[in-house]
Each structure stands twice: as structure tokens, then as C-alpha cells.
């Protein structure tokens, strides 16, 4: 199959991929760019393990063609924080035991990141609705919700003190 160029900005870096038109964004990220944080859980947009941020929106990268991301800005879990400077959400997920097997976690945190950009002061109900596209089989969500609410509070504190 004839390949095509796809240019994206992924986690702040410009990349130029030569890939098949049918390549899904999740596979371009995982297999061609070695960004293995986002995972594949269902291949059908239900589970959200593959969630990445694309042009300021959460997308399920298992049902987006890489070609559709041409020119896009992509942020994955790898772009949210670094070992020396974790994102508040990453800290709060650990603090409140918001993960167990870790498979949903990159997608869940990436989704929570966008949710808090859109709504910095969510209620518990809004958090639950806002992450309803991301399934977790281990935690029962209670501690995930707690972690996101705490992260929102901390992010607002940081904003206020700045």
C-alpha cells in the first residue's frame, strides 16, 4: 500500500511519519514513534485506554487515522509531566490510589487533564460524567474521582498563588 507523509507535533516535538493511509493514530504513536503510554483496550472507542489530546480535545486514538492528525498537536501521557516535574494529576493518582493495573491510567489522566482545562472547578458528578468515556476495571472509580477533584483543587491553588 502506498505510504503518505503525516506531520504532527507530538509532545512538543515535530515529527514526520511515512505511513499507510489506513494506519490508526494509536499505532502510529505506539509502533512508529515508540510512545507506548496510550494503550489499546477495545479498538472501538469504548474503553478510552488510547485517549490522547489532539488540538485541545480528548480523542480516542484507536479510531482516528494518523492521516487525520496531519498538522495536529498531540499530547500524550508522556507529554504531561516529567520524572522531575510530575503533573499534579500524576501525583494525585498515586496519592489517592487512583490506579491498580495501570492499563487505563495514561488515558484516564490524559482525559482528566483536558476535563480540568475545560472545567477547572468540576463537581463530583461532572467529573464522573467527564470521564465516562474511560473505563477502569480495577478501581471502581472512587479513588480516581477523588484524585481528579484533589488535583483540581491543587491546580487552582497554584493558579491563585501565581
Q: Which residues of this protein are in contact with other proteins, per CB under 8 A?
A: 20, 22-23, 27, 30-31, 34-44, 46-47, 49, 76-78, 81, 83, 86, 90, 93-95, 97, 99-106, 109, 127-129, 131-145
Q: Closest distance between other proteins and the C-beta of residue 4, in Å? A: 14
- 9 vs 100 by CB, closer to other proteins: 100
H-run or E-run covering 154: helix 142-161
The burial class, CB within 10 Å (0-12 / 13-18 / 19+), for 5 is exposed
Q: Distance (Å, rounded) from C-alpha 17 to C-alpha 138? A: 35
* Block residue for cell numbers 472512587: 142
* Minimal distance, residue 47 CB to other proteins, in Å: 6
Q: Closer CB to other proteins, residue 71 or residue 132?
A: 132
Of 71 and 147, which CB lies nearer to other proteins in the complex structure?
147
Cell of 13: 516535538
Amino acid at each position: 500500500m502506498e505510504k503518505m507523509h503525516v506531520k504532527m507535533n507530538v509532545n512538543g516535538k515535530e515529527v514526520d511519519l511515512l505511513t499507510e493511509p489506513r494506519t490508526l493514530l494509536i499505532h502510529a504513536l505506539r509502533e512508529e514513534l515508540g510512545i507506548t503510554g496510550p494503550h489499546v483496550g477495545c479498538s472501538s472507542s469504548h474503553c478510552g485506554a488510547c485517549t490522547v489530546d489532539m488540538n485541545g480535545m480528548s480523542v480516542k486514538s484507536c479510531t482516528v487515522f494518523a492521516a487525520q492528525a496531519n498538522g495536529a498537536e498531540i499530547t500524550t501521557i508522556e507529554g504531561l509531566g516529567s520524572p522531575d516535574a510530575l503533573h499534579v494529576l500524576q501525583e494525585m493518582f498515586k496519592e489517592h490510589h487512583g490506579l491498580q493495573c495501570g492499563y487505563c491510567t495514561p488515558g484516564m489522566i490524559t482525559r482528566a487533564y483536558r476535563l480540568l482545562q475545560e472545567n477547572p472547578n468540576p463537581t463530583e458528578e461532572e467529573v464522573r460524567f467527564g470521564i465516562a468515556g474511560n473505563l477502569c476495571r480495577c478501581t471502581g472509580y472512587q479513588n480516581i474521582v477523588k484524585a481528579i477533584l484533589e488535583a483540581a483543587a491543587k491546580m487552582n491553588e497554584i493558579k491563585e498563588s501565581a
